[in-house]
Each structure stands twice: as structure tokens, then as C-alpha cells.
Structure 1
């Protein structure tokens, strides 16, 4: 049985955006995990999630796309509670709240070995796909609390965090809202209030901090209800050393507005707190989401790392005050991964693929054209333009070695899109020009392709009117097995595909005719297998069968499609 840790829940809150709150969460979490602590970071900024960007070298897109987050936990409980309330309005209060509040259902560990037992787990705002905005916009928080016993659910969530982690750091949303109240009142033991030294920054943060510091929070069922006071740590952020006089005046005003905070300190210690706790502004960090734990040198005063170490010391009451030493080779490698490189946008691309990638070429070509890129098809003999344009190889094979051979301009190495689940080999020279889209939903797949070619991420409506996504097989399939020795006949297959695609949503009938034995059936079999994922249903009917047998095959097709079909009636004999 896992050890129950009785850890601390710490919320980082700011009344206004742009304070550097999220960066503070990420760096404090790293310092704690590097000291052997079990740490969970939670992106609760549901409307504008971004905490994952500070862990970019350690979190893959598949990790974000393949797991849910805060909103998924909430929605899962909401669904169960609403279903139970339909039978009995009091039923939500009798649910096993702890079962639905287990963070381990959605959290995952970032890819880094801390040593000393240190763990850094990440709980995102929610699954990164085009359904996310719909998930958060449709949630009625008043109904969740009043009708579905949401209070008990969040209490169970807090207890799960405390039982499994030494520290849970929550990146809260800004301002005054139901979501912010969950993070600032219901969940934390400690509230880190981040603010800049503008008037609205100080006033808004101080008002919230003072109100919370005076509250006694009671949680849990009546029989075991506990109470606690939330410790509030005000932290001035983005202090510009170039304006020392204004900064000192602003800090003095802030200390007056946050009078008495932090609590539990003598006046001397509180003066020391306000003298030492601040996060400076450094222009270097304004351009990329980068961890100061890798960028700044240890032991250098005035750096962001030094500021976050001081902050960590107060959060842990002196238990953790410094980032441990790091292997310099590892540090240099990760620093390089944080550097953002400007992508060279290719205005023209030539698609190269084998017969397994034909249907993918249609879908990828459509995505690229809709994004303003001119697309050539190497299989279509596009001429000199296809040779000059950079090549994009669609690898639909079972290994990297079997992918189509690309040419193109010598100064522009080919781009490679893996569509069959295979990863680029370790040490591959073209790894930076490679992406994998298997296992992702259509919008995420389109995003990965466009990022590869240096185009902005797709709009949510990009896929309206797109060809069928090839990763989704037809729901109904009955066709002869593909002839692996089939070769040639590409011109006929291209013509057949072109004719069958002409009608759009309309029905198109195309007949293959010719002498017996010239390969009409083989051509149809190859087409049915090559382009099967372009269709919702593929059904083979033997034209040489009797009328009754054809009727029976059509009836079977209707049943598989869920269409009720009357039994075939015997046809009158012709005279």
C-alpha cells in the first residue's frame, strides 16, 4: 500500500495576468523534486492553460493528447453524480467521491530522472484536443456545488493530493471567479499571491489575500469536519532593477496593503521577508518559456533562480532552500532544447508516398492546400516544379527503412510524416524534420503536420470539408484480400480514383469494362484496399452471382449498415 504523506497543497494565484505566476510554479516544482520530494503540478488555469510549455523538453505531444486532466476528472464525477440524481436528488452525496477524485487517473510523470526519490507529476487542465473548449464552457459551477455535491468532491481531491504527494503546486486562474475560489479557498494550505507593483496589481491581490487570511476553512463531512487557516505568502513579481526608486516605493506600498502578512512572523522576520522575497524582471525570459533552474547559475544573487530558491524556502518553512548541483552536460543539452528556432516556411511541397500512403497523401495534401501551401504530387508527374520544391515523404510502411525515397533540392532535406505508428530511429539525421501522427485525432494530426512545415497551428474549423481521416478504418468492410503481387496499372487506378471522387457527396457509378482475363477484378480489388479508409463502408458484391445471390449480398450489407431490409422475394420467371 502506498505511503500516505500528508503533504501540502500550495496554490499560486494572481489577480491580474502577466505576473510570471506560471513560471514560478514550474521552477519551484523543479527545485522541490530535485530535493527528492514527490511533487504534483496542476494546471488549473482552465481558460488559458500553459504550464506544460515550461516542461516542453520533458513532455511529448502524445503524453498531453493521450491523457486527460482537471476538467476530465470534474466531468467524470459530474456525469456519475447527475445520473445518480435523476433517481434520487440526494444520491450525489452518497457517491464514493474518493474514487472519482484520484489524481492518478490522469496525472503522468515528466521524463527526467531526479534521483533521491524525487518525482514530478503533471496534471494538465484537460485533454489537448478540439473538444476541450466545449468541456469547460458547458460546466455550471453553481449547479455542480449545489445539486451535485461538488464541495465533497473537491475535498476528496484535496485529500488525494495530500495523501500521495509531499507538495502539490496549483497554477490558478486569475481574477475573481468560481474556478479561482476553488484554488484559493477550497484546496490550499498555502496561498502564494503573485502581483506586480502597479496600483491595480497591488490592490486586487491584497484584497483577495487579506480576505482569505481572515477565513477559517471548514471541510469534510460533519462527523469528521476539520478546520484550517490558509497561510498567505505575498510575492512581488517582475521587479525591474533599472527602476530601483519606483520599485522600492511600490514594495513599501505593497507591504502596507498586505499589512500583517505573512502571518506567524515577528515584525523583524516580516521585514526580512519583504526585503528578500521578490522576483526580478529579466528580459531574457520574456521570449520563451524556459526554466531558470537550467538557465541560471547556482549561487548567483539577483537571478530568477535565486528568487525562486528564496520563495521555495518560505513555502517549505526552510526545509528546501537551494537547487542541488546538476550534471553540466545534461544542463547544456536541456538548455538547447528550450531554444526556439524560427521555422522556414515552405510555400511549395512535393508529396512522395507508396501505394499504402495514397489515401494519406490526399488528406495531408488537402490540409496543406487549405493552409496556403502549393502541393505537387510526385506520382502525378508534376514536372520541374515537383523537383525544385522540398519533398514531404509519407511513410506508411512498417519501418523507417521502407519509406519512399525522396529527392528535392539538396539544401532542403525532406520532411517525413510517419503515419503507421513507427518512430524515427534514434540518431536519425532527419529527426528534426520528422513528425508522427499515428494515434492522434485529426486536429492534433493536422497541427503536427503544419508545425513540421512551419505553418501556424490550425483553426478549429480547418477540417470542415476535409477528406475522411485515414487513421479511422471503415465501419463496415467486406472485400477480397489484397493481391500483394499487384504491380503497375497506376494510370488506371488514378483515373478510377479521380472519377469516383468527382461527385463529392453525390453518388458516382464507374464501370470497368474489357475482355475477360485482363485484370478488371484485380484492379477493383487493389482500389478497394488502397482507398478503403476513404470510405465509411466497403462492400464487395460478386457480379457473376445469380440475381438471388446478389439480392442476398445486398441484404447482408444493409444489415451490417443497420438498415432494416425486407426478405428478398422470389422474382417471376421470364417467359
Structure 2
């Protein structure tokens, strides 16, 4: 979150204004122009807000990534998060309200606007020391996670704008932006759409109409200009057409395109006298520079100063036009510093940015997901290799080591029980060159390390604080460059307080990047607030394909699409569900297991859940009210949005469906019924032969592979029959040889 402060006085005489950069077609270099203009303005002591409003294809952050803590925006809220939060808090505007415009008189709507229209709650500051009060704050499009595309595609802009008071909210947001910044630059989406008026009419004082030098782009720019001219907003909008990516090597064709653009767009620039109009077109042109075509590089770092034909000089001239000449140049940067920072923009070669192999037990998948997320957010390329006791592709695993630059095993009781753990350790240890830190172990539980694992001190992640764990992880395992976030010194210090680069402070980047949204990986030592489920089966074996399908379906299948485990009796549907609950339980706030054989049992369990959620009391006698309160709480995600509801041994769907909540959580069903066809169905069958043999050998001490195969053969890999036999052999005292002779096996 950006520093809260009033907008400074106008150090250069530039009045506060909002400038939208808009293009009818993509590929004009619009985002690049926004980023560079922001840098020139901030370099002259202005406080600038750069907004990525290209919600369908956000990319402005790529030009700022060396100076952002959350480089991939995994945790940084932005435009769509602000808007959806406001829309979710707003009831439909009452009759008599001006719902489509800027004036909503209903006090309740005005109160919600005052609560949510605060850009400083979402903007993040770039870590760079600009002169004076200068600085760039960045407002992203939104958190870039698995749900982002769905949020954008399903958001009802018409309902927001015409029924939720969206026009008034955006007008209030506009005022808030101007109260806190000297200049606001908006990188808008391409084309003309139902929401085009937000960025072209409602928000800006100036519209930079970006176009390339081809007929389609020029004619599209005319459509944009005509749209703005015909839609009068609450304030006048100055249209500034800017030709971009001008290829000057084809002089004759460029001259024709220039004449065509000036002819069609000239009528929208009548405020300029003819003599100034000619100078205008000569000034604003942005050239095409091939060296900038492959990477997102800011021109102040890519170009030396005082080069009149450079891209930097073109952006300086454009900034001069936008500020009426008040800002027309950027103070020179130390050349050594410029070249050093230029390397931060350039894409590293594979040798400079090696892939990291993260190996963990399948039982520790929540740890694998969390660790991988932290390392990826820090800029590392991470490949996860989950293993279980049945994993035997040792040759393939060793081959993977040749293509990675670092190996990080997550040491745990479950991991060390896998034969792959020892194989990986020995191969990585042998491949490590002196001083290379190729093998970096991380311990995630209290496992006692014995040879060969005790030869080096692991990183200890057995600490309660997610922020401290992330800091320790990145310091020990993360990138070796100077951009690695440091551990927090004061957990109560706001992450983006005071633009660290400007004040000389280090800030608290770990705290900022460790903030977890509702759909991001949770720190695994964090336990659910409510957990109600049977104990874990200590003898659970295999079923990895089913668990992988469940996890993928629940995480990526959409909100509350039921994941259904089906199959014949005694094949282990309940055991698979139970393993999922315990394996992934830390990823939820609420885990609630329901014996769902009869509808009255489901109702009774939901009534109890309502009490545990605090949404009803035992004094409310009507059980139907308590059931409804629980379903409403789950649907609304209040007080918890991350919940898992398991309905074990459910009957037909029709009898169970009234108790299935919609909402942000997950629903898992086990059933023999064939009526569950609306969700994602995972069929549970018998054990594989490998699973059967491992199960018997893990249950019966000293059982050899050959005897295990002889015992398992007549049981047809039935999990229930194998479990029953293992229990009988253990409890009866009958030896394996005696059993085999008795049954003639």
C-alpha cells in the first residue's frame, strides 16, 4: 500500500490531471509510453500514479518490475479488486438514484463509496529514489492468479454502472486520485467496448490517442476520437493523437501515412492554430527502435541522455506536449548506475536464471505448493517433483538433475520414507561442485536426520510466522542477486511505507509479498479455524491419480463445483476423501465432514456447523433456520471464504442437493449413487498391484515381496479385503507361512 499523504504543491506548475493512453488496436507501444512518461514526470519531482486499466491483458507492470516487490503481482490488489469489492458491498441502487451518472443521492450508496474509493489502499510504490517529492505509485489491474480471468470475464459492468452506483464510485475515485497525485496516467484497454467511456470520457482530462502508421490503426484512432467528442462527460477531454512505432527507414511510405493521419485527425485538434499544428506533429512522433522490441525496458535506462533521435528523447518531447512545456526533459542519470540497472531489465539467459527442482513427498503437497509460490514470486523458475514410497523412476529423476541449477528437497518424515529421497540426495550431492550450493535442503517438520541426510544443515521452516518463514526461505534458497527481499526488521511497519528507495530505508518487502489472498497457497503450519473430520488413516497408500484429480478439480474447477468420488462398495472412497482432508486441510479455514447417508443427518450436521461459525445460537430452536444460516454463511463466504464441505456416503443427488451451498468454497462428495452427474466425477477402483504389495509390506513387518504377491493374488487388489487380512494376521498371531499353508497359497 502506498504512503498516505496529501498531494504536494505543483513543483513545476503542472496542474493535477488524469491522462489516459488509449489505442484502437494493440501493438502501438501504449503501455511503454505510459511507463516512460511516468518516469520523466517523476524525475522532475512530480508524484505520479500509473494505472493498469487494460484489464483483459495487463502488462504495464513489466516495465516497472525491477522496482516492484511483488514482481508478478501474485498478491498485489488493483483496479478489478477495488471495483468488485465495492460492487459486492453495494445493494441495488434504489429508485430515484442517478445510477448511471455521477450523482447518487442515496446516503447508503454514498457511504459505501466513501469506504471504498481510496486509491492509496491499493497503489504500491516503486522502489526508486526520485528527486524531491517525485515518485511513481503503481495501481495494478488486479491480483494475477488462477481466478483473475474468470473475475474479468464474468464481472457485470452494466449492473455495476447502472444499478450499483458505479458512475458515482468512479467519479469519487477520480477525485481521490487527483487529491493524492500530481499526474495520473491510465493505460487503457484497446478497442471500443461497453466500458470504453470509463477511461476515455469519465476519468481523463487528456486522452492520448495512440496509433500506428497503417490505415486500420489510423482509422481506428479516428473512431476513438469521434467517440470521445460525441460523449460529453462531466469535464472536457483534450484529445492528443500520437503516432507510435514509426518506422523511419521507409521514408516515402511514412510520409503518406503522416499526411493521412493529419488529414483525418486534424479536425479533433482545433484548439491549436495552424502554425502550431505543424510543430505538434513533428514533436509527438514516437519512433520504432528494434532494440526495444524484445524486452520491456524503460528508455531512461536503455538510452544514454542527450541523444535527440533516441526513444528517450521522443518520450521527453511527448511529456512536454502533455504538460504544455512545463516538463520537457529528464535529469541525467549516472552512467554506471544506468548500465547496472539496464541489466535488471534484460531477460536472463538460462545459465543466469537456472531452474530450481523442488522435490517433496506427495503427503507434503501443501508445503510444495507454498514453497514453490514463494520462490516463483521471487523470480525463480521452479519445477516440482512429488514422490511417494512407490516412486521408482530413479533414472528419470537423475536425468532431471542435469537440466537444473539447484535442487531443494523438503525434508520430512514422509519424504525420508520414500526410497527416492536417498537416491535424489546422493545424486545431487555427487553433482555438486565446490561452493555451488547445488543441494539446499529445507526441513519442514521434526524429522530426525540420519545419514546421508545429516551431512549439511537444512533451512528450518518449522516456525509459526509465515512472514519469517518466507524471509528465511528467500534469504537461504532464493535468488542470489541483490533483489532478494530481506527479512523484516519490524513486522508492524507497512510494506510500502515511504517509498523505500526515496528515504534510504529497506522497508518490509517480505511482508508485502507474503500477504496471501483467498485463493493463494496458505502457509502450511497455519491450521483451520474449524476442523471436524475423522482421524487420518495411518496406513493410507497410493491413490495419487485420484488425489491429483480431486485437487485439480477443486482448485481449478470453479466455485463449488462438486467433486464426486464414486465407485463400488469397499473400494476406499471414504479413505481417499479423508486423505485429501488431512493432506490439504491447512489450505482451508473450515473443514467440515458430514455423514451424509440420510438427509436428516446432513441437516443436523449443518445446524451444528452454524453454531461453530457463530451465525446462530443453540437458543434458536428451529433447526431449519440453523441449516439455512449455515448454508448462507458458506455461500456468502462469511465469516470464512475458504471452506471444504465433505458429504460422505451421500445418497442420490436429488435428496442431497438442497444442502449443497454455492459460494467460494469446495464441496467433496463420496457416493455409490449414479445420479451424481452434474459435478466432476472421479472413479475409485481397486488398488494397483504395486499399491497392494506395498500396503501389505507396510502393515506386516518382515513380509517379503514374493510372499506379499502370493497373499495379494487371491484378494484381487481389494482394499477392504487386504485391510481385513492385515488386521487378522496382526491380531491373531498366525504367521505368514502358516497362513499360506492353511490356504494352500
TM-score after normalising by structure 2: 0.55
Indicate the residue corresponding to 1:172 in structure 2: 188
Measured after TM superposition, the shift of residue 281 of structure 1 is: 0.8
Structure 1 counterpart of 2:88, from 74, 79, 88: 79
Deviations 1:174-210 (A, max 9, x none): 1111322111111111111110111111111023224
Are the aligned partners of 1:213 and 1:231 in contact in 2 as well (CA < 8 Å)?
A: no
Indicate the residue corresponding to 2:67 in structure 1: 58
Instruction: Name the CA distance, whole Å, in 2 between partners of 1:203 and 1:350.
Output: 52
Structure 1 window deviating more from structure 2 (27-36 vs 255-264): it is 255-264
1:144 aligns to 2:175 (yes or no): no
Structure 1 window deviating more from structure 2 (306-315 vs 295-304): it is 295-304
Are the aligned partners of 2:65 and 2:71 in contact in 1 as well (CA < 8 Å)?
A: no
Instruction: Name the CA distance, whole Å, in 2 between partners of 1:214 and 1:87.
Output: 27
Instruction: Name the CA distance, whole Å, in 1 between partners of 2:202 and 2:545.
Output: 59
1:255 aligns to 2:262 (yes or no): yes
Measured after TM superposition, the shift of residue 257 of structure 1 is: 0.6
Residues 1:363 and 1:428: Cα distance change in structure 2 (over 3 Å): closer
SS in 1 for 2:73: helix
Are the aligned partners of 2:440 and 2:477 in contact in 1 as well (CA < 8 Å)?
A: no
Instruction: Name the CA distance, whole Å, in 2 between partners of 1:196 and 1:362.
Output: 43
Are the aligned partners of 1:477 and 1:538 in contact in 2 as well (CA < 8 Å)?
A: yes
Are the aligned partners of 2:212 and 2:245 in contact in 1 as well (CA < 8 Å)?
A: yes
SS in 1 for 2:326: coil
Are the aligned partners of 1:54 and 1:291 in contact in 2 as well (CA < 8 Å)?
A: yes
Structure 2 counterpart of 1:242, from 249, 252, 275: 249
Instruction: Name the CA distance, whole Å, in 1 between partners of 2:85 and 2:369.
Output: 37
SS in 2 for 1:143: helix
Indicate the residue corresponding to 2:23 in structure 1: 14
SS in 2 for 1:392: strand
Structure 1 counterpart of 2:126, from 92, 95, 110: 110
SS in 1 for 2:132: coil
Indicate the residue corresponding to 1:542 in structure 2: none
Residues 1:139 and 1:198: Cα distance change in structure 2 (over 3 Å): same
Instruction: Name the CA distance, whole Å, in 2 between partners of 1:142 and 1:537.
Output: 36
Residues 1:198 and 1:93: Cα distance change in structure 2 (over 3 Å): farther
Indicate the residue corresponding to 2:238 in structure 1: 231
Indicate the residue corresponding to 2:341 in structure 1: 334
1:41 aligns to 2:90 (yes or no): no
Structure 1 stretches lacking a partner, 5+ long: 220-227, 398-403, 446-467, 480-492, 510-527, 540-555, 566-575
Structure 2 counterpart of 1:70, from 64, 68, 79: 79
Indicate the residue corresponding to 1:498 in structure 2: 541
Are the aligned partners of 1:194 and 1:205 in contact in 2 as well (CA < 8 Å)?
A: yes
Residues 1:444 and 1:56: Cα distance change in structure 2 (over 3 Å): farther
Are the aligned partners of 1:352 and 1:394 in contact in 2 as well (CA < 8 Å)?
A: yes
Structure 1 window deviating more from structure 2 (172-181 vs 58-67): it is 58-67
Structure 1 counterpart of 2:408, from 379, 393, 401: 393
Indicate the residue corresponding to 2:429 in structure 1: 407
Structure 1 counterpart of 2:215, from 192, 195, 199: 199
Q: What is the Cα-based RMSD across aligned positions, in Å?
A: 4.7
Measured after TM superposition, the shift of residue 76 of structure 1 is: 2.3
Are the aligned partners of 2:21 and 2:30 in contact in 1 as well (CA < 8 Å)?
A: yes
Instruction: Name the CA distance, whole Å, in 2 between partners of 1:92 and 1:69.
Output: 27
Pairwise mapping of residues 368-383 of structure 1 onto structure 2 (< 5 A)?
none
1:473 aligns to 2:527 (yes or no): yes
Residues 1:253 and 1:229: Cα distance change in structure 2 (over 3 Å): same
Pairwise mapping of residues 303-382 of structure 1 onto structure 2 (< 5 A)?
303-343=310-350, 349=357, 351=359, 360-361=367-368
Instruction: Name the CA distance, whole Å, in 2 between partners of 1:46 and 1:66.
Output: 16
Structure 2 stretches lacking a partner, 5+ long: 10-14, 377-381, 413-423, 443-458, 462-468, 486-509, 548-564, 566-572, 594-607, 619-745
Indicate the residue corresponding to 1:507 in structure 2: 574
Indicate the residue corresponding to 1:2 in structure 2: 6
1:298 aligns to 2:305 (yes or no): yes
Are the aligned partners of 2:178 and 2:184 in contact in 1 as well (CA < 8 Å)?
A: yes
Measured after TM superposition, the shift of residue 410 of structure 1 is: 3.0
Instruction: Name the CA distance, whole Å, in 2 between partners of 1:159 and 1:385.
Output: 59
Indicate the residue corresponding to 1:421 in structure 2: 470
Measured after TM superposition, the shift of residue 100 of structure 1 is: 2.3
Indicate the residue corresponding to 2:636 in structure 1: none
Are the aligned partners of 1:98 and 1:157 in contact in 2 as well (CA < 8 Å)?
A: no
Residues 1:423 and 1:18: Cα distance change in structure 2 (over 3 Å): farther
Are the aligned partners of 2:81 and 2:142 in contact in 1 as well (CA < 8 Å)?
A: yes
SS in 2 for 1:25: helix
Measured after TM superposition, the shift of residue 73 of structure 1 is: 1.9
1:31 aligns to 2:74 (yes or no): no
Are the aligned partners of 1:234 and 1:258 in contact in 2 as well (CA < 8 Å)?
A: yes
Residues 1:212 and 1:165: Cα distance change in structure 2 (over 3 Å): same
Structure 1 window deviating more from structure 2 (496-505 vs 242-251): it is 496-505
Deviations 1:386-410 (A, max 9, x none): 566436315689xxxxxx9862523
Indicate the residue corresponding to 2:174 in structure 1: 158
SS in 2 for 1:258: helix
Residues 1:154 and 1:242: Cα distance change in structure 2 (over 3 Å): same
Measured after TM superposition, the shift of residue 335 of structure 1 is: 0.7
Instruction: Name the CA distance, whole Å, in 2 between partners of 1:215 and 1:529.
Output: 57
Deviations 1:524-562 (A, max 9, x none): xxxx999974897699xxxxxxxxxxxxxxxx9998699
Residues 1:335 and 1:177: Cα distance change in structure 2 (over 3 Å): same
Instruction: Name the CA distance, whole Å, in 2 between partners of 1:494 and 1:384.
Output: 32
Instruction: Name the CA distance, whole Å, in 2 between partners of 1:161 and 1:375.
Output: 47
Indicate the residue corresponding to 2:285 in structure 1: 278
TM-score after normalising by structure 1: 0.70
Are the aligned partners of 1:196 and 1:238 in contact in 2 as well (CA < 8 Å)?
A: yes
Are the aligned partners of 2:53 and 2:141 in contact in 1 as well (CA < 8 Å)?
A: yes
Instruction: Name the CA distance, whole Å, in 1 between partners of 2:52 and 2:246.
Output: 25
Indicate the residue corresponding to 2:719 in structure 1: none
Measured after TM superposition, the shift of residue 361 of structure 1 is: 4.9
Aligned length: 478
